[in-house]
Amino acid sequence: MISRRNYFTITIVMFIVFFLFQFSNVALETWNHYEENSYIVDTAELSNRSDAYRAQAGDREEDFAGELRETVVYIGEEDGPVGETVALWATYAKKNIKTYQSLEDYEAGKETDETDAPVMVAVDSSKLDWSQENGCDLLERYVQSGVHLVFCNLPEVSVLKADSKLQELLGVQMIRAEEMTVEEIHLYEGFLLGGEAFYPADGMEEGMEYTLPWYVVSSDSEIYMNGITKKKAVGDELIQDDEMPAIIWRRDAGTASVFVVNGGYMADVSGLGILSAFSAQMSPYELYPVVNAWNMIYANFPGLADENEEVLMDHYSQTMKGFFQNVIWPDVVAVRRESGAALSCMLAPQFDYEDSNYPDSEQFQRYMKLLNEQSAETGLSGMRVSDTPIEKKVARDYEFMQDALPTYQFTSFYAGNLTEEEVRNALSEDLLASVRTVVEDCSENKEVIGYLSEYITRQSALIDGWEDSVRKDFQVRALETVLGYNSILVDMSRIAYPAQDGIDWVEAASTLRQNISDYRIGENGFDSTTVSECDERIRKFLALDYRVTREFNAIYLDVDSAKGPVWFVLRTDQEAIDSMEGGSWQRLEQDVYLLTIEQENAVITMRSAY
């Protein structure tokens, strides 16, 4: 039997627990300002397109980097795919670029150009006239003068066979076969960020070429990527590992190097990372700016109307609202906690604007509270499954928002499958007046970050969260190397309408978790951001200018007009950071560091890593 004293004590304890529970809920409700978008800022305070650095020929007026700015020469078609890659990389790396159609044009231009010699000459071999007798001599002369030479691709095998001097310049010791198919491609550690990787042919990695000429390179060459064949002998001759078909390599030539790409890798986004990796190999250290952003975007989530009911009941025995609330939302929160990733959810009030299933405003307010508790960003999606014009769709969304949450302003917009004209029309509507960044689907566009208009940025997703991302591993590594940027897109419309492609939630969620696990680069990784946070970093990156000097073991970094922190990657050759002033640093992987620069002047003191 409980005594009065114990009964009284138990009652007091229960009252305290009840009070604390109720108080925490009241406090959470009171402090949850879900009706306001915390990412709303005065766009006049943000960098715009006019502030962005543009690579160009010649000195700019009041050039911040001055004589320290390096120049890249490109020989080939300026508007061709390789020329576009080189020019875009020069812009991202804040270098000047000069483009010439031919070696003869470059030689003629040098006679009137009094600027310093370029740090690099990149050539599109497919556009050079190899019948000219002095072509190879000119390229060799550049290397002998200390200028690094980059072959963005190689001429036809017949050209190499007929030109022994060109073979020597490239470091080609033997042409074992004009064409052969490899079973696997080996990416060596220390070239792109992310370490060593193997890409089997049956995995069909996007952007990889498994049929190629078999070049065996000389002993003074370093291989960064090669093909692997199961064939271990040709006749009586055994094939060593360094005699496998070379794909990307470097040949040392005294004070400069010749870098070679065997294949069409420079024509797509991979070329940006390859050039960045080449640049890091050209000197004892390389310091360059990055965005430092890693995004996880749930497009078309949450869904607020009970649509496609028959199919969803057949697949999951729940309506759309029930399935999103009871199954998907708990999993979204679990993935966030497991990964530590910041959430960006692009709201889909409706999918089909031609039916009579309208969005639930109470459900919307509940989601907004939950998303705010997770520090998530809520943007608006332009997705719809009906033929409703985008203007009408946004107008309907505006009516819904005026009723459900009239004070909320969107700062981000998911373009989905909209055309450029439809995106412009959508952004002109009042509902999207505060939008400052547009999220685009995975595409072949090399300019994965940039400006859509003077005040609005664009950022492309790199990985489809529902697909096995190993197929894009090489391209993603390349873009993380050059930009410190990655973005995983999880399109929930493919779950809401599973009849379209047969995606199952359980299997898809498992693939998503694996993708998130695979793409955390380095020991610590790049920062996880929402899309509006990423927008601010993209603007800083594009507007940033800098200069670097070194005296003994001290690297001096000056940045131009840094508003808040900016980020750099430092790649070294067996050196480690001993101390730093003006910012902080963290190790990404061996000989690679991520620097956070807090002031306009920073000093990094180095020491031997061994």
Residues 310 and 243 in one domain: no
HEC string for 527-544: CEECHHHHHHHHHHHHHC
Helix (H) or strand (E) holding 29: helix 4-31
Residues 121 and 198 in one domain: yes
Write down which residue in 273, 290, 307 finishes a domain: 290
In a domain, 348, yes or no: yes
Angstrom distance (rounded) from CA 603 to CA 579: 8
- Residue carrying the six token digits 């010439």: 100
Residues 581 and 486 in one domain: no
Residues 308 and 245 in one domain: no
Residue pair 154/268 in contact (Cβ under 8 Å)? The answer is no
Angstrom distance (rounded) from CA 508 to CA 467: 8
Residues 441 and 512 in one domain: yes
Residues 224 and 273 in one domain: yes
Residues 574 and 509 in one domain: no
In a domain, 18, yes or no: no
Angstrom distance (rounded) from CA 348 to CA 364: 10
**Residue 326 DSSP label:** I
14-27 pLDDT tens trace: 656 554 544 444 43
- How many structural domains does the chain have? 3
Residue 554: which CATH number?
2.60.40
Write down which residue in 253, 269, 290 finishes a domain: 290
Pairing of strands 246-253, 256-261: antiparallel
The Cα-based distances of 532 to 252, 343, 414, 570 in angstroms read: 44, 11, 12, 26
Residues 521 and 508 in one domain: yes
Residues 554 and 455 in one domain: no
In a domain, 21, yes or no: no
The pair of three-digit structure tokens given for residue 102, joined into one six-digit string: 């031919």
Residues 231 and 370 in one domain: no
Which structural domain range is residue 575 located in?
545-608
In a domain, 524, yes or no: yes
In a domain, 14, yes or no: no
The pair of three-digit structure tokens given for residue 438, joined into one six-digit string: 């547009």
In a domain, 400, yes or no: yes
Predicted TM-score of the model (pTM):
0.91
Q: Which of 72, 75, 73, 115 is nearest to 94 (CA)?
A: 72
Angstrom distance (rounded) from CA 126 to CA 577: 42
Query: Which residue ranges in the chain fall short of pLDDT 50?
Result: 19, 21-28, 30-31, 58-59, 523
Helix axis angle for 505-518 and 329-339, nearest 10°, is 20
The Cα-based distances of 193 to 24, 173, 198, 520, 572 in angstroms read: 45, 29, 14, 11, 13
Q: Virtual CA dihedral for 218, 570, 576, 248, nearest 10 degrees?
A: -20
Residue 440: which CATH number?
3.20.20.370
- Residue carrying the six token digits 């969803």: 312
Angstrom distance (rounded) from CA 581 to CA 86: 33
114-126 pLDDT tens trace: 667 899 999 999 9
Buried b (16+ CB within 10 A) or exposed e, 121-153: bbbbbbbbebeeeebbeebbebbeeebbbbbbb
pLDDT at position 268: 92
In a domain, 267, yes or no: yes
User: What distance, in Å, lies between the first and last C-alpha atoms of the chain?
Assistant: 73
Contacts of 34 (CB under 8 A, 6+ apart): 365, 368, 369, 371, 372, 405
In a domain, 284, yes or no: yes
The residues pairing with 459 across neighbouring beta strands, listed in sequence order, are: 439, 449
Residue pair 55/100 in contact (Cβ under 8 Å)? The answer is no
pLDDT at position 381: 97
Q: Virtual CA dihedral for 404, 409, 412, 418, nearest 10 degrees?
A: 60
Residues 79 and 130 in one domain: yes
Pairing of strands 71-75, 120-123: parallel
Write down which residue in 261, 290, 319 finishes a domain: 290
Residues 309 and 346 in one domain: yes
User: Percent of the chain beyond pLDDT 70?
Assistant: 89
Angstrom distance (rounded) from CA 579 to CA 606: 7
